[in-house]
Amino acid sequence: MQVTREMFNDVMVPNYNPAAFIPVKGQGSRVWDQKGDEYIDLAGGIAVNALGHCHPELVAALKEQGEKLWHLSNVFTNEPAIRLAKKLTDATFADRVYFANSGAESNEAALKLARRYALDHFGENKDQIISFKQGFHGRTFFTVTVGGQTAYSDGFGPKPGAVDHAEYNDLEGLKAIMSDRTCAVMMEPLQGEGGIISPTPEFVKGVRELCDQYNALLIFDEVQSGIGRTGELYAYMGLGVAPDILSTAKALGGGFPIGAMLTTAKIAESLKPGTHGSTYGGNPLACAVAERCFDIVNTKEVLDGVKHKEQLFRDGLAAINEKYNVFEEVRGKGLLLGAALKEEYKGRARDFLVAATEQKLMCLVAGANVVRFAPSLVVTDEDIKEGLARFERAVEKVVNG
């Protein structure tokens, strides 16, 4: 069958509007389309492809497990799931792991656990969940309601209740709506979809203290910021504050769908048998690939490399900005970076994205005003430099029309 981009419109639900070209092969941070044209990938499948495309160790792990065991229901357990859970708990604050298929499902589990824990320990009146405006936590109805962007949650009928939103980096605003009724505060330790916004150290510390004061659980959504993305295994490790619950996905499987919720033994007790579940959560194939990805990322070489590569991006973007004066600032940490547009280019992030695609570069946006980069954690220096050279040509085209 000859597949074309036009066929997408005939057979797919129109909630996506993908690019005109169709990628068919990837290797490292290079991608080839149906015509054989080569692209540099500085998008990473939206911070998913932690080790690039078709990393040989991940391919080997998939092949090896694929000849052993593909799937079991959670009536049984399996070795890859237990090994991965052990490595996650050994490396983090957590004692217990729940596996899911995605970030949204991991966040759904985190929110349900927080509500159930509050009910078990403090009674049914402790149900308020607070999150932050411009936050993003997934597309299930619960997670999209907790996410702070009404554009994603409006239009689907009555929303889950007892959910409130505060301004990110505004401790006084959070303090004003917290009380003994608050069961959890959910936040990204680095806002992704909301524009690549970093928290101040004082804000993160203050959120932790408020949660302790009101016996509320602190949930960190590290779906996008986790697994080496910021140069730490998880972003919380560079903030000096540990959460009570953490969600992780995206880069966890290096491209194979998997998510996880991490928490302490005490809090985990509230998810007794039958309270929550997932058909594919803990799938042996997914866990085997994720284990190998975790082993590679959780090394000094890769994590230190992320910090080095961040500086290459910052230097390259600064050089582009010296010529064209289009960016207000470069935000973010590690290899989750956002070039925020100046006032005269506000609302035109997609124009830069489209122009980049024409220059055979894959990048992202974070809202209408930020061009986002979330490449492989092991992208080569040469690919960064060539990718930014292509991005400069895209910037020139937007600026000069």
Question: Is 134:197 a contact under the CB 8 Å cutoff?
Answer: yes
Is 359 one of the annotated binding-site residues? Answer: no
Is 278 one of the annotated binding-site residues? Answer: yes
Is 222 one of the annotated binding-site residues? Answer: yes
Is 208 one of the annotated binding-site residues? Answer: no
Is 2 one of the annotated binding-site residues? Answer: no
Q: Is 388 helix (H, G, I), strand (E, B) or coil?
A: helix
Smallest Cα–Cα separation from 259: which of 84, 101, 95?
A: 101
| Cα–chain center distance at 118 | 27
Is 73 one of the annotated binding-site residues? Answer: no
| DSSP 8-state symbol, 345 | G
**What is the rounded distance in angstroms from the CA atom of residue 194 to the CA atom of residue 81?**
32
Smallest Cα–Cα separation from 387: which of 365, 344, 357, 366?
A: 357
Is 104 one of the annotated binding-site residues? Answer: yes
**What is the rounded distance in angstroms from the CA atom of residue 357 to the CA atom of residue 351?**
10
Is 103 one of the annotated binding-site residues? Answer: yes
Smallest Cα–Cα separation from 338: which of 328, 324, 325?
A: 328
Q: Which two tokens stand for residue 197?
A: 């916004």
**What is the rounded distance in angstroms from the CA atom of residue 331 to the CA atom of residue 196?**
6
Question: Is 170:344 a contact under the CB 8 Å cutoff?
Answer: no
Tell me the Cα Rg of the chain.
Answer: 21
Is 136 one of the annotated binding-site residues? Answer: yes
Annotated binding site for N(2)-acetyl-L-ornithine: 139, 278
Annotated binding site: 103-104, 136, 139, 221-224, 278-279
Annotated binding site for pyridoxal 5'-phosphate: 103-104, 136, 221-224, 279
